[in-house]
Structure 1
Amino acid sequence: MKTLGLIGGMSWESTAEYYRLLNELTRERLGGLHSARLVLYSVDFATVERLQAEGRWTEAGELLAGAARSLEAAGADLLLICTNTMHKVADQVASAVSVPLLHLADATAAAVRTAGLRRVGLLGTAFTMEQDFYRGRLASSGGLDVLVPAAESRALVHRIIYDELCVGLVREESRAEFRRVIGELVAEGAEGVILGCTEIELLVHPADSPVPVFPTARLHAEAAITAALTE
């Protein structure tokens, strides 16, 4: 099994989910006492969030590129950035190392295509929903038609992610708000909904949506284990 290198801590709440998923999937596929071979570099999310808010993306990319180099030096054969938003700097990170980076949006687009869907809603941080680095990747690599919520709903989703989910707060009233926003996307024609922030999976489950949901952390983890077990 190849060694996976995780760039995590953004937030550590979702990175903990990655660790659980990667080990559970390894045990499911290999059986017995098997667990995932991985190394983790966990950054200080407060630093990353400040760089995001100030639009200092190149500096944020340098920070993650340094983490990637450390993981490669530690023996990682394949890298994962354990957050959707920071895939804005994925090219900068990938160019800093010689081992491959498994792009989260590609794993997600593949799952949507496998489900036979094309028009999907996207929930995530404001950066992910509003900028082209993620939506454009879904469209170009997956041929998907991506819908996002209206401005007021985007602001609500962004606030819940940063103020609640990233600090471990899972509230029923926020789940109800996400259900409402999902309903709006479905009314606009969404055939499925991408949970395009790894923390959203802590709050929203398949039963909360009338259409299929695509949990990006799980999909990323599944693709990583498949790649790690492929010679």
Structure 2
Amino acid sequence: MPALILRTLGLIGGMSAESTSVYYQTLNRLVRARLGGLHSAKLVLWSVDFAPIAALQAQGDWDATGAALAEVARRLEGAGAEAILICANTMHLNAPQVEAAISVPLIHIADATAAALQALGVTRALLLATRFTMEKPFYRERLEAAGLAVQTPDAAERDRLHAIIYDELVVGVINPRSRDAVLAMIAQGRAAGCDGIIFGCTEIGLLLDPADMPLPTVDTAIAHCQAAVDFALG
């Protein structure tokens, strides 16, 4: 029997720490489920301080965030990572800078999400995410290139959802009223013709369970982990 090859994954985490813990637990759970026994994922994790990153996001200084993430990616590759994951949807705005800084693959969260949506038969998805991810083209265009239509809540609801993410979920606060607000956004999206839902922020899965949603739902953190384990196991 050939020797098991389990590739090492490099995680750019801390954005936020709440969802990075989901990545760590999910990657190890998936590897154990696939290989059995005492197997776990081979990981190198660099967890950034999110406060300076969030301040740069608010200022619109994406060149600076890209430079910061590119440096982390180089260090992860130097530590033995054979592929890189940015453990956040919004920071995939800087995916080009990260890819340019490394010689190993970047496993892109939007590609993993598109594949998961297609597997569920979704054609028009409601994207629930930070304001940056919902309003800037980097994420929508990646999904549209895969043949998916994307819809977002209206402007006031986008502001509300952004606040829920940054003021509550990122710091581990789970508010039932916020859960109700997001469920109302989902109901409106369904009425507008959406046939699927994207938890397009890695923290939304802390607030809602995809299994409880009225439409097929992809939690991007989980889809990203599944794609990473596929790569790790070759």
User: TM-score normalized by structure 2?
Assistant: 0.97
User: Please, which runs of 5 or more residues in structure 1 have no aligned partner?
Assistant: none
Of 59, 62, 76, which aligns to 1:57? 62
Residue number in structure 2 paired with 1:22: 27
Residue number in structure 2 paired with 1:39: 44
Residue 173 of structure 1, CA deviation: 1.1
**Does residue 162 of structure 2 align to residue 163 of structure 1?**
no
User: Please, which runs of 5 or more residues in structure 2 have no aligned partner?
Assistant: 1-5
Q: Which amino acid aligns with 2:43?
A: L
Q: Deviations over 1:91-118 (max 9, x none)?
A: 1101100000000000000111111111
Q: Which amino acid aligns with 2:167?
A: D
CA distance in 1, matches of 2:90, 2:45: 18
Note if contact 2:113-2:223 (Cα within 8 Å) is conserved in structure 1.
yes
CA distance in 2, matches of 1:20, 1:172: 25
Of 202, 212, 216, which aligns to 1:212? 216
Note if contact 1:72-1:97 (Cα within 8 Å) is conserved in structure 2.
yes
CA distance in 2, matches of 1:213, 1:102: 20
Residue number in structure 1 paired with 2:130: 125
**Does residue 150 of structure 2 align to residue 146 of structure 1?**
yes
Q: Which runs of 4+ in 1 moved over 6 A?
A: none
Q: Which amino acid aligns with 2:63?
A: T
Aligned length: 229
Residue 207 of structure 1, CA deviation: 4.6
**Does residue 198 of structure 2 align to residue 194 of structure 1?**
yes
User: TM-score normalized by structure 1?
Assistant: 0.98
Identity %, equivalent residues: 55
Of 114, 129, 154, which aligns to 1:109? 114
CA distance in 2, matches of 1:130, 1:210: 24
Note if contact 2:83-2:105 (Cα within 8 Å) is conserved in structure 1.
yes
Query: How big is the alpha-carbon RMSD for the aligned residues of Structure 1 and Structure 2?
Result: 0.7
CA distance in 1, matches of 2:211, 2:183: 10
Q: Which amino acid aligns with 1:139?
A: E
Q: Which of 114-123 and 13-22 deviates more?
A: 114-123
Q: Which amino acid aligns with 1:225?
A: V
